[in-house]
Amino acid sequence: MNVAGKPSPPPGQPDRPDSLLVPTWIKTGIALLYDEISGNAYEIRLKLTKEVLTIQKQDVICVSGSDHSSNHRTVKLHRQPVGGLGLSIKGGAEHKVPVVISKIFKDQAADQSGMLFIGDAVIQVNGISVEGATHEEVVHLLRNAGDEVTITVQYLREAPSFLNMCIFSGSPGPSSDHSSGASSPLFDSGLHLNGNSTNTAPSSPSSPIANEPKYEKRWLDTLSVPLSMARISRYKAGTNKLRSNAFEVLALDGVSTGILQYCTAQESADWLRALSTNISDLTLQNMKMANKCCSSSDQVIHMGWVNERLQGADSPQLYKCKFLALKGSSFYIFSTPPVSTLDWVRAEKIYNLCEVLFKVHKLWLNDDCWLQANLYLGIHQDYELEDQRPYCFSVVVGHCKSHYFNVELGSELAVWEKSFQKAIFLDVQRTGSKTYTCSWQGESLCFTLDFALGFTCFDSKTKNVLWRFKFSQLKGSSDDGKTRVKLLFQNTETKQIETKELEFQDLTAVLNCIHSFIAAKVASVDPLFIEGQSIARKYTYSN
């Protein structure tokens, strides 16, 4: 939602919101709001609470007296023998930007007026419009305007980046004395010199008349982005190009902060972690609320935003945002988050958890080191990982199909890894057993996975058990990648290997289910073993 016109207090004074509930600012800081199309950027202030990210822009507001000039301010400056007008300017029509006051020198004419501020665009000089003037034209006009100069200005809230670069970096940009040479619109043209004044007597200080309005530069709230179900994107739209020290926050309703550009990589990472933590905490609250309406066997284990890689190399947009959820015995893929009970049946895809296989594919340990790994043994499927996105995982589903995902942070990958393990193990323990129809040499059979008993094969008509083995007796397997699998079991008495061949309509789902049952069995016996196999958590947190 837009919150326009709400000023922040002067520096040094606490916020005084209208509400009795005073917001707790977790983090505040300065950034640039960057337009990737035009290349322009301007300074903003960010204020973060547990639930909202607020963007503020600076503006000059009237704090006392009557202001009848809309956003324009007119002030008379008396050129001083030492210091001149006491200001410097940047910009010009040749760069398609207005001329802007870039410096105001303390205790000199512009500063004493109390009505001029860094960032003011010069509109008129002695009644002459300069809105379409070049930098050199405005410099010449100001230097030759006489001892008393009337300037009309308007604060430029969205100044091009080179005009406020010195503010953003915390130190003034390069300046030079252009009294004897050409001026550059990229640098300050100092008008604190005497110019062409013939008056050698001290001038009275420039100051507003007693009944004139008084102005202050303040930060104003311009946009508040709710973080519940929000997502973060570090990539340029439609590409795999990672933004440098920048990202975008998008609310559930589609409202965007725009591209938030930071001065350093460390500052960008700090804000990224802070926002991600708050979004995760709010997601956890939403999960708890949803679980109050669900049975104990249908609880939400985890949910959140990911980027799914689109099928086909010809697609101009390689990834598309998806919302994943692990709930009860199902794995859900949504285009938008479920916000009501009815939304759960509107998922794009729904899979049985015990029939999917989670794989970590890529971790970004540092700038020079990549780790590619498959977390689990089982079906191997090659992926062309020519893109440079880190923190990737896939979910193998039935009929040899897979979904390939990417997340923004290594910590998110670790959470998804752990959540899939937990959700699958719980589903296996709740289900207890799973039976599939199969065949071999023309005979119709049934193949059962039982958490307590292991593997059982029986005749589908007579129900007679043909063979049975424990999970621990499985010593290997192979398949043709289509329908047929060979299972190698060790006979406990003879110690010989027995081969059992079966054909399934959906071999991928069966192999995934075998893996889920065995992994859940191992976890029930030795939980630390599964923890030790956690690639994402091991490498992400250690780095």
Give residue-wise pLDDT tens across range 145-161.
Answer: 999 999 999 998 876 55
403 and 487 share one domain: no
Identify which has the larger pLDDT, 460 or 181: 460
- 512 domain-assigned: no
143 and 73 share one domain: yes
Instruction: List pLDDT tens digits, range 107-163.
Output: 999 999 989 999 899 999 999 999 999 999 999 999 999 999 999 999 988 765 555
Q: Which residues of 309-322 are buried (b: 16+ CB within 10 A; e: fewer)?
A: beeeeeeeebbeeb
Give the end of a domain, one of 378, 397, 430: 430
Mean residue pLDDT of the chain comes to 82
- 335 domain-assigned: yes
- 368 domain-assigned: no
pLDDT-derived band at 363, boundaries 50, 70, 90: low
CB 132 within 8 A of CB 123: no
pLDDT-derived band at 537, boundaries 50, 70, 90: low
A 10 A CB-CB count for 183 gives: 22
Please give the average per-residue pLDDT across 405-414, as a whole number: 91
Instruction: List pLDDT tens digits, range 378-406.
Output: 333 344 444 568 889 999 999 999 999 99
Q: Domain range for residue 444?
A: 432-507
Residue type, 181: G
> What tokens does 173 get?
């940009």
> What tokens does 499 get?
């081969």
Residue 124 burial (C-beta neighbours within 10 Å; 0-12, 13-18, 19+): middle
| DSSP code, position 160 | -
Please give the average per-residue pLDDT across 78-102, as a whole number: 89
C-alpha closest to that of 351 among 483, 509, 507, 521: 509
251 and 318 share one domain: no
Predicted pLDDT at 170: 34
pLDDT-derived band at 452, boundaries 50, 70, 90: very high
Predicted pLDDT at 169: 37
DSSP line for 296-328: GGG-EEEEEEEEEEPSSTT-SS-EEEEEEEEET
User: 207 phi and psi, to 5 degrees?
Assistant: -160, 150
Identify which has the larger pLDDT, 92 or 383: 92
- 456 domain-assigned: yes
Predicted pLDDT at 229: 96
Domain total of the chain: 4
145 and 35 share one domain: no
146 and 126 share one domain: yes
Instruction: List pLDDT tens digits, range 281-338.
Output: 999 999 999 999 999 999 999 999 999 998 765 555 689 999 999 999 999 999 999 9
- 85 domain-assigned: yes
Long-range contacts of 427-433 (CB under 8 A, 24+ apart): 427/328, 427/329, 427/352, 427/353, 427/354, 427/516, 428/354, 428/516, 428/517, 428/520, 429/520, 429/524, 430/297, 430/329, 431/329, 431/354
- 265 domain-assigned: yes
C-alpha closest to that of 270 among 24, 26, 538, 535: 26
Predicted pLDDT at 365: 45
- 486 domain-assigned: yes
462 and 500 share one domain: yes
Give the end of a domain, one of 118, 143, 159: 159
421 and 298 share one domain: yes
pLDDT-derived band at 166, boundaries 50, 70, 90: very low
What H or E segment, with its residue span, contains residue 161? helix 161-169
456 and 423 share one domain: no
Interaxial angle between packed helices 507-525 and 410-431, expressed in degrees from 0 to 180 and rounded to the nearest 10: 90
* Integer Cα distance of 437 and 447 in angstroms: 6
Predicted pLDDT at 24: 75
Instruction: List pLDDT tens digits, range 498-524.
Output: 999 999 999 999 999 999 999 999 999
Mode of pairing for the β-strands spanning 330-334 and 319-327: antiparallel
Say which CATH number the domain at 470 has: 2.30.29.30
319 and 406 share one domain: yes
N- to C-terminal Cα distance for the chain? 38
340 and 414 share one domain: yes
Among the ranges given (211-215, 250-254, 397-401), the one the predictor scored with the smallest mean pLDDT: 211-215
Give the end of a domain, one of 430, 454, 481: 430
* Integer Cα distance of 264 and 301 in angstroms: 36
448 and 486 share one domain: yes
What H or E segment, with its residue span, contains residue 413? helix 410-431
Instruction: List pLDDT tens digits, range 426-450.
Output: 999 999 999 999 999 889 999 999 9
Predicted pLDDT at 173: 34
330 and 452 share one domain: no
| DSSP code, position 466 | E
Predicted pLDDT at 236: 87
- Non-local (6+) Cβ contacts of 105 within 8 A are 83, 86, 87, 111, 192
Say which CATH number the domain at 126 has: 2.30.42.10
- 543 domain-assigned: no
pLDDT-derived band at 68, boundaries 50, 70, 90: low
